[in-house]
Amino acid sequence: MAEHAVNIGRNERWKRLQFGIVMVVIAVVILALLFMVGASRWFRLVIAIPLWFGGLGIFQSREKT
Our count of domains for the chain comes to 1
Give the per-residue pLDDT at 43. Answer: 85
For residue 2, is it within any domain?
no
Residues 3-55: pLDDT tens digits? 666 677 889 999 999 999 999 999 999 999 999 999 898 888 989 999 999 99
Cα of 42 vs its chain's centroid, Å: 20
Give the per-residue pLDDT at 57. Answer: 93
Domain extent, residue 53, equals 10-63
Higher confidence at residue 65 or residue 39? 39
How many C-alpha atoms does 5 have within 13 Å on its Cβ side? 1
Q: Which of 21, 30, 3 is nearest to 59 (CA)?
A: 21
Cβ neighbours of 2 (radius 10 Å) = 3
| CA quadruple 59, 25, 21, 16: dihedral sign | positive
For residue 4, is it within any domain?
no
